[in-house]
Amino acid sequence: MSEIQLYDLKKRGTIIISSPRMGSHYLQDAIEVLLRRQQIPCVIQDQLIGRDIYQDINTDAGKYHICIANDLLSKEKLMQQTKHLEEWHVIHLTRSDINSWAISCYFMFQKNSFGNPLIPHPRFLHRGTQRSAYQDHLDQYPTYPLKLLTMQMGNRLRTCDMPYHVCIDYADLATYFGHVCPWRPNDYTGIDLERDFKNGPQIKQVLQAWQLAEQLLHTDDTFL
């Protein structure tokens, strides 16, 4: 097992607290592989989407559960259940490179992306999208939807309020767990916020201010 503790068999399971486009599903896969290698029965709950970890998830069967709290509703619910949260191994998954995160979010926001459940064959996939698909889209010199970005930044910020046992950054996933699961991130090489979006300079300023706020909040981290 990696030196970073991804699970604790004395707990009901692991909850990955993060935000979209930070690698939570990859980390979930890595935990599952590590558990199955040791023949430890586990259940993949995937995204909580507001489910109650006490009432909606039955952990009495002795299996180890893996959950993802990627949305604001789930985080708010968990903050109301700190007593039950102590029965879980909690991981904060962050993405300190806020510019690359914002670029990834942009493609998730598109109508023909995996983020739209009504599109059966999206052009922009959760992972494995062809690099040419990004470039063809950016050739149109689009405007970045700031309102959608600020919603996700608020989601990111809420993670800072959550207590946890372990914190991992997106940039370290391949280094620590590439030997466990293949690392196949989307390729955003060469994409520049300021150059490729009409309102890119404004987006960059917003991100810089927000990142400073996050850094200040992280000095006040709460551990379980």
Specify the pLDDT at position 1.
42
In a domain, 7, yes or no: no
Structural domains in the chain (count): 1
> Domain with 196 in it: what CATH number?
3.40.50
Residue with more model confidence, 2 or 1:
2
Q: Is residue 49 included in any domain, yes or no?
A: yes
The answer to the question of residue 224 being in a domain is no
Per DSSP (E only), the strands in the chain are 13-17, 42-47, 64-69, 89-94, 166-169
Asked if the model's pLDDT at residue 73 lies above 60, the reply is: yes
- Residue 194 lies inside a defined structural domain of this protein: yes
Check: CB of residue 193 under 8 Å from CB of residue 138.
Answer: no
Residue 24 CA to residue 1 CA, distance in Å, equals 18
- In angstroms, the CA 74 to CA 17 distance is 9
pTM of structure: 0.93
- pLDDT tens, residue by residue, 149-200: 999 999 999 998 899 999 999 999 999 999 999 998 999 989 999 999 999 9
32 lies in some domain? yes
Structural domain contains residue 167: yes
Boundaries of domain holding 75: 13-218
